[in-house]
Amino acid sequence: MLTFLLIKDYALIKSLEINFGSGLNIITGETGAGKSIIIDAMNLLLGERASVELIRKGADKSIIEGAFDISGNKKVKSLLLANNLELHQTLTVRRELYQKGNNRCFVNDSLVPLSLLKEFGNILVDLHGQHEHQSLLRSDTHIDYLDEFCNNEKLLEEYFNQYKLLQRKIEELNSLHKNMENIRLRKDFVSFQINEISAVNPQPNEDEQITKELSLLESSEKRLELAAQLADLLYDAEDSARDKLSKAKLISEELSGIDSALKVIAEELGNALTSVKESANSVRSYSASIEIDPEKLNEMRKRLSDIQLLKKKYGMSLSSLLDLYSKLNDELRLSENFEDDVTARKIEIEQIRKLAGEKAKLLTSARKKGAAKLEKSVLATLSELGIQNSVFKVEITGRKDGGADFIIVGNDNFGYTSKGIDDVEFYLSTNPGEDVKPLAKVASGGEVSRIMLALKTALAMNEKLPLLIFDEIDSGISGRIAQKVGAALKRLASSHQIISISHLPQIAAFREHHFLVEKMEDENRAVSSIRKLNEEDSIVEIAKLMGGDKITRANIRAAKELITASL
């Protein structure tokens, strides 16, 4: 439920705050006062696209903020948790529009992308504007209304996954056919490149390994020379470290015989002699491992040269060259096994056509079951709204014989779209004895308003949407019918919060909360404002809707009678 709405520096609105109540909230006001601006601002709060032109002249930014009571709304709570957003009983949503074109969205004071704001909007509010009258007259939208009524979201997702997979596989096959001629023309060149790389047969990181080995081989003589010098200094030459340490050890032993305090030094010199001997042995082993092999050295230099020339010719690293080699082999195999590959892909596509057909069949079955319920629900509401003895039909037709592009349902081929194999269209007859005809051909403006309300009533009862917003649902209807529309809104408001703009007193009389939008001048500029009316003021405004600005006792009496009749 929307409990609070703030609009600041938006179009004609300087600053406006509204506290909505549960049940039926009616907004009235003169034409041009700014009622639809409020609905437009709500649209922005729900994630619709925005234009900087709507920022009030002279202001740097516009702010629209709403607070929703989400106690018991599991979908909203799940979406909050899934996006690591703070969870409270009140959900605060804010939209900021800047003159520089920036657009910031917040949920519970956390910055979120517009797409996520729209996700919250989709599960919080169903906003019905005038454009939906026109959309209802387009038969391509009827399938969406039916799916929404049937709660087909999961079935649609399962089917759409197969649909996307099928489209991708068909595209890959078509691309294969288109590229095949090029692949065949390239076959000789690809074979030449494969042979050229195969002749060298480079291995992963081989150039780096050879470079390291060459560095050692090319320094063999120098390493031998230095190792010999080190062995002499340590052990082999006259006056080596071993000889000097041996003499020092003898002197220290003689000293320790005189003064036992020097015994530790004698021991340390003995350890040093052992270390020198071990070091000398290690140097000799190292010298013995050094290989001087000019032939091997030349082979390695040639091997590295061959690899470097290959890298230079293809202008890439060894790693990239090996990747190219793998791709060239794949391309060659493809050219040599094209027919087998095409056959395998066609078999795979055939299987996906069947899987997509199975999902589409489940969708069709769900739609047919739901269509009968939707017809019954809409007819019941239409009767209450004054369209007596009407016939409302949901026609579902399958796209038989899909041509070259199809999915398989049972043993038959069907054409298909991203929504399945069905075409759905609403048919209507409003006069006894007349055949049903497409809705667009038989419905008048007032009837379209009532049919939309009937659909919204059916959908709302099915989906349990928390908030429904109607922008001028009374368009094109008479006073007598308006009273029935008001009654229908009141019934719907028993299980949903409803916010509705109306020009008709017969609807306004059903209000549980009445708001008046007014336009006035502030510093020579037009400003829209809104205020919640008490019972006395509400009666006066309903009287104005009946008789204009001049209010008579008769108008007041008639307004009270309307209100009494609405109870």
pLDDT category at 315 given cuts 50, 70, 90 is very high
As a whole number, mean pLDDT of residues 64-72 equals 91
Q: How far is CA 513 from CA 18, 25, 117, 161, 563, in A?
A: 11, 5, 28, 45, 12
In angstroms, the CA 395 to CA 425 distance is 5
* pLDDT for position 449: 73
For residue 52, the one-letter residue type is V
Q: How far is CA 98 from CA 9, 54, 59, 164, in A?
A: 11, 10, 9, 38
pLDDT digits (tens, 9 = 90+) for 490-545: 988 888 899 988 888 999 999 999 999 988 887 778 888 899 999 999 999 999 88
In angstroms, the CA 373 to CA 398 distance is 20
How many CA atoms are closer than 13 Å to the CA of 161, on its beta-carbon side? 8
CA angle 459, 463, 464 (to 5 degrees): 110
* 267 token code pair: 């021991």
Least confident of 61-70, 160-169, 170-179, 217-226: 217-226
Residue 135 has pLDDT above 70, yes or no: no
In angstroms, the CA 275 to CA 273 distance is 5
Tokens 């509401």 sit at which residue? 381
What are the backbone dihedrals phi and psi of residue 444, each rounded to the nearest 5 degrees, phi first?
-85, 175
Helix 479-492 / helix 338-384 crossing angle, nearest 10 deg: 110
In angstroms, the CA 404 to CA 174 distance is 13
Do residues 76 and 123 lie in contact, with contact meaning Cβ atoms separated by under 8 Å? Answer: yes
In angstroms, the CA 111 to CA 113 distance is 7
Residue 273 has pLDDT above 80, yes or no: yes
Do residues 353 and 406 lie in contact, with contact meaning Cβ atoms separated by under 8 Å? Answer: yes
pLDDT category at 550 given cuts 50, 70, 90 is confident
- 3-state secondary structure at position 238: coil
Radius of gyration of the chain (CA): 43
Alpha helices in 201-232 (DSSP H): 206-217, 220-231
* pLDDT for position 134: 61
Query: Rounded to an integer, what is the distance from CA 537 to the centroid of its chain?
Result: 47
Report percent pLDDT > 70 for the chain.
Answer: 96
CATH top class, domain 1-132+464-567: alpha beta
As a whole number, mean pLDDT of residues 306-317 equals 92
pLDDT category at 143 given cuts 50, 70, 90 is very high
Residue 133 has pLDDT above 80, yes or no: no
* 242 token code pair: 């071993």
Helix (H) or strand (E) holding 527: strand 525-532
pLDDT digits (tens, 9 = 90+) for 427-468: 988 877 788 888 878 766 667 777 878 887 887 766 556 788
How many CA atoms are closer than 13 Å to the CA of 130, on its beta-carbon side? 10
Residue 349 has pLDDT above 90, yes or no: yes
Helix (H) or strand (E) holding 455: helix 445-463
Residue 129 has pLDDT above 70, yes or no: no
Count each helix (H run) and each strand (E run) in the chain, helices first. 19, 17
Q: How far is CA 223 from CA 208, 227, 291, 301, 317, in A?
A: 22, 6, 10, 20, 32
Do residues 68 and 6 lie in contact, with contact meaning Cβ atoms separated by under 8 Å? Answer: no
pLDDT category at 161 given cuts 50, 70, 90 is very high
Residue 132 has pLDDT above 60, yes or no: no
In angstroms, the CA 104 to CA 63 distance is 10
- In the DSSP assignment, the letter for residue 493 is T
Residue 47 has pLDDT above 90, yes or no: no
* pLDDT for position 464: 59
Q: DSSP characters for 124-161?
A: HEEEE-THHHHHHTSGGGHHHHHHHHHT-HHHHHHHHH
Report percent pLDDT > 90 for the chain.
Answer: 35
Q: DSSP characters for 244-255?
A: HHHHHHHHHHHH
Do residues 446 and 476 lie in contact, with contact meaning Cβ atoms separated by under 8 Å? Answer: yes
In angstroms, the CA 95 to CA 78 distance is 22
In angstroms, the CA 226 to CA 287 distance is 9
pLDDT digits (tens, 9 = 90+) for 439-450: 878 766 667 777
What are the backbone dihedrals phi and psi of residue 39, each rounded to the nearest 5 degrees, phi first?
-65, -40
* pLDDT for position 513: 95
Helix (H) or strand (E) holding 546: helix 535-547
- Average confidence score pLDDT of the chain: 87
Residue 319 has pLDDT above 80, yes or no: yes
pLDDT digits (tens, 9 = 90+) for 356-400: 999 999 999 999 999 999 999 888 888 888 788 888 999 999 888
Domain boundaries of the chain, sorted by first residue: 1-132+464-567, 138-180+346-442, 201-335
* pLDDT for position 204: 92
In angstroms, the CA 59 to CA 456 distance is 38
pLDDT category at 309 given cuts 50, 70, 90 is very high
Least confident of 32-36, 202-206, 207-211, 239-243: 32-36
In angstroms, the CA 359 to CA 355 distance is 6
Q: Which residues make beta-bridge pairs with 2?
A: 68
Q: Are strands 125-128 and 13-19 parallel, antiparallel or unpaired?
A: unpaired
As a whole number, mean pLDDT of residues 197-211 equals 91
Residue 21 has pLDDT above 80, yes or no: yes
Least confident of 115-119, 225-229, 272-276, 556-560: 225-229
